[in-house]
Structure 1
Amino acid sequence: MRRTIPLILLFSLVLAGASLPKSGPIPTTKPPTHTGTQTAVPTPEAKPETSGEETGSGKVQRQPQQEGTQSVPEEKPGEKDEPPKGDDQKPATDAKDRQEDDKAKDAPVIYPPVESENATEYAKCLSDLKSLGASFSEAKRVDDGKGCGIDKPLDVTSILPDVELSPKGLMRCETALALARWTKEAVQPAAEVAFDRNVKIKALNQASTYVCRLRNNATTGKISEHAHGNAVDIASFTLSNKTTIAIQPRDEDGSMDGAFQRAVTATACLYFRTVLDPGSDAAHETHLHLDVIDRRNDYRYCR
């Protein structure tokens, strides 16, 4: 019994010394496999991997690229949405827009109807024109289609008692009245001052009155005011002394012919809403275009 107690004590000490240590060796990182994946092993000292740039503890080496894999280049800001470059890159046209354009091309052109004259204004115009001594006859309504026509046209042979319209012309009453007033109040006085007080205007030689066409005889564009009976083109003036003053470019003409033309052109804008002379464009180098087209606030276009 006495021997048993010391043996028990000795055995207890041996067992106490044989306990596990408080810490053991850390397992090594498992090497990468060939399947393209890597098992991460957390450790107390683990730090984020960098791309090889220097850190406070030295350089961190890149992981070697696995065989059979392809490196992906780093995407730069804005590079993902940038369209391919090239001079021939154009935005695609929407299919709906193309269909609407095709319909517009195939749609028939709708022309406005011939404008009707106001009965009261027309009656007053006839009275005023007769009082000035103009010679005219009322013609049948003209409707040539395509927006061309005159509701109540006049066939005018003379503007004043002794001033012929050569050749006679078809126009609206408003156009004839403006032409008669201009001739009496501006053209005749200018001729007396420029040439002789006894010289009278004998004829207005016109190049165009009513005609169904586009402006400047073009194939495309807006319809001419001639097609509405609102316009007349004056090519020259015949005087009582048998001379003719032709309309031509005269901006630098220092003669009385030039002064007379510039004077009647300027005064025409008091009677007509549009006046185009040889200085306006090439289409009017041989005549004065005069028309009574309605404009907002009685605006005048004189060139």
Structure 2
Amino acid sequence: MLFRAVVAVVPVVVAQAAVAQPIPPLPPPRPAETPPVTPPAARPQAPPVPTADAPPAIPEADDCLARLQAAGFDLEPAEPPQVSNELCRIETPVRLKAVPVPTKSETAVRLTDQPTLACRFAGPFGHWIGDLVAPLVAGIKGTELRAVRTGPGFECRNRNRAAAGKLSAHAQGLAIDIAGFDLANGTTLRIKPEADTAPDPALAALRTAACGWFTTILGPGSDEAHHDHLHVDIEQHGSSDRYRICQ
């Protein structure tokens, strides 16, 4: 009888043990994500303070003069002309004496009148002579270009020498009048046409080609004011420097 009682108790103890088994704990909550920290914008660096030993900056005027001299131009700084009209102003005046011919080493074309021009105009004008006019004349005429005859360059006056109206590009040193071209064979190509003579093909070609170098090209046939010379300038017309007056 005692053995049966013990056997009857065992299932009860097992059942109680199953009920008393503890529930496993829940995992701890995930910490809230911290938003990424954006690094502060870099503070702009202040420009370095020049010291007493730092070389001075080269002014733009000196840079123009030095650039043309390095290209072989014979020119020198000129004194600003004295004028009564304060609106006549020339920026960086230079006296142009000769320009190189790149296709002929150690060859230069002289400017017999040594015109006074703004430096920024002396560059394109000189390159037009050396890079285009000299080779073109040599190819068509079979002789070298030696010199170019011009007016003074800078002149404080109105357009077409009118008593009133707008100032000419000459009043800023941005224009020049060409009277003729002296050749190595002793002849001269004169801009003023001769009576009963057909236009010289060399003059016609260089006049047409000048439209790609300057903003204004006027000569014989344009108007009475330009019947005996070729006027070229780089004055801007309107809002675009692409507009050309090529007559």
* Aligned-partner Cα distance in 1 for 2:202–2:141: 9
Matched, 1:138 2:56: no
Deviation of residue 159 (structure 1)?
A: 2.6
Matched, 1:266 2:208: yes
Matched, 1:239 2:183: yes
Aligned partner letter, 2:223: D
Aligned partner letter, 1:301: I
Which piece of structure 1 moves more, 122-131 or 210-219?
A: 122-131
Runs of 4+ in 1 over 3 A off after TM superposition: 252-255
The answer (yes or no) to whether the contact 2:116–2:152 under 8 Å persists in 1 is no
The answer (yes or no) to whether the contact 1:156–1:171 under 8 Å persists in 2 is yes
Within the candidate set 87, 91, 115, 1:151 is matched to: 91
CA offsets, 1:106-150, max 9 Å, x none?
xxxxxxxxxxxx943x34432332133211111233452421121
Structure 2 matches for 1:167-182, cutoff 5 A? Answer: 167-182=113-128
Aligned partner letter, 1:172: A
SS in 2 for 1:211: coil
* Aligned-partner Cα distance in 1 for 2:240–2:197: 34
CA offsets, 1:215-265, max 9 Å, x none?
111111111111111111000000111110000248x9546xx11111111
Match of 1:96 in 2: none
SS in 1 for 2:228: coil
Matched, 1:302 2:241: no
The answer (yes or no) to whether the contact 2:110–2:146 under 8 Å persists in 1 is yes
The answer (yes or no) to whether the contact 1:237–1:244 under 8 Å persists in 2 is yes
The answer (yes or no) to whether the contact 2:154–2:175 under 8 Å persists in 1 is yes
The answer (yes or no) to whether the contact 1:181–1:271 under 8 Å persists in 2 is no
Within the candidate set 119, 127, 136, 1:190 is matched to: 136
SS in 2 for 1:182: helix
Kindly tell me: are residues 143 and 149 of structure 1, through their superposed partners in 2, closer, same or farther at Cα, counting changes over 3 Å? farther
User: TM-score, normalized by length of structure 2?
Assistant: 0.67
Match of 2:165 in 1: 221
Aligned partner letter, 1:157: K
Match of 1:208 in 2: 152
Query: Unpaired runs of 5+ in structure 1?
Result: 1-117
SS in 1 for 2:212: coil
SS in 2 for 1:275: strand
Structure 2 matches for 1:109-128, cutoff 5 A? Answer: 119-120=59-60, 122-128=61-67
Match of 1:164 in 2: 110
Structure 2 matches for 1:70-149, cutoff 5 A? Answer: 119-120=59-60, 122-142=61-81, 144-146=83-85, 147-149=87-89
* Aligned-partner Cα distance in 1 for 2:66–2:113: 23
* Aligned-partner Cα distance in 2 for 1:163–1:204: 7
Kindly tell me: are residues 272 and 291 of structure 1, through their superposed partners in 2, closer, same or farther at Cα, counting changes over 3 Å? same
Aligned partner letter, 2:166: K
Higher relative contact order (CA 8 A, sep 6+): 2
Identity of aligned residues (%): 32
The answer (yes or no) to whether the contact 1:206–1:236 under 8 Å persists in 2 is yes
Matched, 1:293 2:208: no
Query: Unpaired runs of 5+ in structure 2?
Result: 1-57, 101-106
Aligned partner letter, 2:128: W
Match of 1:279 in 2: 221
User: TM-score, normalized by length of structure 1?
Assistant: 0.55
* Aligned-partner Cα distance in 2 for 1:228–1:188: 27
Kindly tell me: are residues 282 and 208 of structure 1, through their superposed partners in 2, closer, same or farther at Cα, counting changes over 3 Å? farther
